[in-house]
């Protein structure tokens, strides 16, 4: 990778809270660094738990908190956001960045608000099919709104002119999976299942999936190869169930080789967070998606529905994700593997392999537009 041009101002990337916000920021950082831009990564205390930026990237931590909960929680959140805003203003005045890019979530708010206050060129990126609350707050103030889906609800009419479709950047290791063919699958081949519930796992997956798989016939079970992320409190119970049913399974609370496991999977069963949806499209893998029912603005249902409509997955509300449902679906796939092959083809048709490049282009265009405005 090229060394950063020290004569260039840094580009600030603000992200934190969850992997869904951090992963696109890390992917963008790689591309901008390859274009010789110095990068400053601004996050909260949790932000670096999902991966480290490219070596040489400055990392800065600032205070941030959500405004949910009761009155005391809201007051505490406002106080932390206020402290974070002061920290961010001081940091940006010192860095004098060429631009600030926010990836949603409350950890991005102090930095992006400070950037708009001191006149730094700004762009926000929305990973979901519904504009998140933090980005909704920032949208009227920023210069550009980059989106991952063609249709994103929650964008006010007066902000539509700022919208630019870039797609959602993914890690290079995930993008490379999409360059390879879908694993061969016939009526006699084993079907490899990959089950995960996001960074925190999902109780429903640890309950429904093992009960469904162990209820299949011995012949059907023998064709399953399972990789499943479990919450720590569920791990031993799920392992015992698979062992008793003689199901080939690899279980862990976290997999640090997820790209490799995704590359061999025939079917994913997962929640419908933005990073999951994007990685499925990038890799060309079909999925049964169970949106988290308490997600803000039900954005996971919007995410899942957007690709289910293209025949690329199956979107199942959690109350309908039952043992009986999953048994029926698995038996269908075992008898008709072409259903999965076709869904994989549809999923791959949605991929935007160049999303990181598009977003980097949008950042540079925002910087150039600001320079032209200053010169006018």
The set of long-range contacts for 232-241, using a CB threshold of 8 Å and a minimum separation of 24, is: 234/201, 234/203, 234/206, 237/206, 237/210, 238/206, 238/210, 241/210, 241/211, 241/214
Task: Tell me the pLDDT of the chain averaged across its residues.
Answer: 90
Q: Coil, strand, or helix at residue 289?
A: strand
If one looks up domain 174-348 in CATH, what number appears?
3.40.50.2000
pLDDT in tens, 280-338: 999 999 999 999 998 888 999 999 998 999 999 999 999 999 999 999 999 999 999 99
CA distance 360 to 121: 14
Could you tell me what percent of the chain has a pLDDT over 90?
70
Could you tell me what percent of the chain has a pLDDT over 70?
91
CA distance 29 to 10: 11
pLDDT mean over 344-364? 92
Q: Where are the domains of the chain?
A: 11-168+353-375, 174-348
* Residue 54 predicted with pLDDT over 70: no
CA triplet 214, 218, 222: central angle to 5 degrees?
90
Q: Coil, strand, or helix at residue 139?
A: coil
pLDDT in tens, 259-276: 999 999 999 999 998 889
Q: Coil, strand, or helix at residue 38?
A: coil
pLDDT mean over 47-70? 70
Confidence of residue 35 (pLDDT cuts 50, 70, 90): very high
Which tokens sit at 146?
């980059």
pLDDT mean over 343-363? 92
Whole-number pLDDT of residue 63: 80
Which tokens sit at 22?
């951090």
Whole-number pLDDT of residue 328: 98
* Residue 71 predicted with pLDDT over 80: no
Question: On the CB side of 33, how many CA atoms lie within 13 Å of its CA?
Answer: 19
* Residue 103 predicted with pLDDT over 70: yes
Q: Model pTM? A: 0.82
CA distance 265 to 157: 41
Whole-number pLDDT of residue 82: 86
Domain 11-168+353-375 matches domain 174-348 at the CATH topology level:
yes
Whole-number pLDDT of residue 150: 86
* Residue 375 predicted with pLDDT over 80: no
pLDDT mean over 125-142? 93
Separation of CA 302 from chain center: 14
pLDDT in tens, 214-226: 999 999 999 999 9
Whole-number pLDDT of residue 215: 97
Confidence of residue 53 (pLDDT cuts 50, 70, 90): low
Whole-number pLDDT of residue 79: 79
CATH class entry, domain 11-168+353-375: alpha beta
Whether 158 and 148 have beta carbons less than 8 Å apart is answered as no
Report the helix count and the strand count for the chain, using DSSP H and E. Answer: 14, 13
Alpha-carbon Rg for the chain, nearest whole angstrom, is: 22
- Comparing CA positions, the residue from 300, 303, 279 lying closest to residue 291 is 300
Whole-number pLDDT of residue 69: 65
Whole-number pLDDT of residue 84: 87
Q: Which residue has the tokens 């997955």?
A: 313
Whole-number pLDDT of residue 50: 61
Confidence of residue 246 (pLDDT cuts 50, 70, 90): very high
Whole-number pLDDT of residue 18: 77
Confidence of residue 77 (pLDDT cuts 50, 70, 90): low
């Amino acid at each position: 990778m090229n060394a950063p041009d020290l004569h260039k101002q840094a580009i600030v990337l603000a992200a934190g809270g969850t992997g869904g916000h951090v992963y696109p920021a890390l992917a963008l950082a790689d591309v901008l660094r390859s274009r010789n831009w110095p990068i400053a990564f601004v996050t909260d205390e949790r932000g670096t738990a999902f991966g480290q930026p490219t070596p040489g990237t400055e990392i800065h931590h600032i205070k941030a908190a959500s405004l949910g909960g009761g009155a005391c929680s809201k007051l505490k959140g406002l106080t932390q956001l206020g402290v974070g805003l002061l920290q961010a203003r001081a940091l940006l005045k010192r860095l004098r960045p060429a631009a600030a890019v926010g990836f949603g979530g409350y950890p991005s708010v102090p930095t992006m608000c400070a950037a708009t206050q001191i006149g730094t060129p700004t762009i926000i990126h929305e990973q979901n099919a519904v504009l998140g609350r933090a980005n909704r707050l920032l949208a009227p103030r920023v210069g550009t709104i980059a989106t991952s889906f063609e249709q994103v609800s929650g964008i006010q009419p007066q902000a539509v002119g700022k919208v630019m479709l870039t797609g959602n950047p993914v890690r290079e290791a995930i993008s490379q999976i999409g360059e390879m063919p879908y694993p061969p699958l016939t009526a006699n081949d084993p079907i490899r299942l990959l089950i995960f519930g996001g960074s925190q796992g999902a109780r429903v997956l640890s309950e429904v999936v093992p009960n469904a798989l162990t209820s299949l016939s011995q012949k059907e079970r023998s064709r399953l190869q399972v990789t499943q992320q479990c919450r720590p409190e569920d791990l031993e119970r799920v392992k015992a169930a698979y062992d008793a049913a003689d199901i080939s399974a690899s279980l862990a609370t976290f997999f640090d080789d997820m790209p490799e496991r995704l590359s061999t999977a025939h079917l994913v069963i997962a929640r419908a967070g933005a990073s999951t949806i994007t990685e499925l499209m990038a890799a060309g893998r079909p999925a049964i998606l169970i949106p988290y029912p308490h997600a803000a603005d039900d954005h996971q249902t919007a995410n899942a529905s957007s690709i289910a409509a293209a025949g690329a997955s199956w979107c199942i509300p959690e109350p309908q994700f039952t043992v009986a449902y999953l048994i029926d679906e698995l038996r269908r796939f075992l008898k008709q593997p072409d259903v999965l092959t076709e869904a994989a083809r549809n999923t791959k048709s949605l991929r935007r392999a160049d999303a990181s490049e598009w977003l980097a282009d949008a950042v540079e265009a925002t910087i150039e537009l600001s320079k032209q405005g200053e010169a006018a």
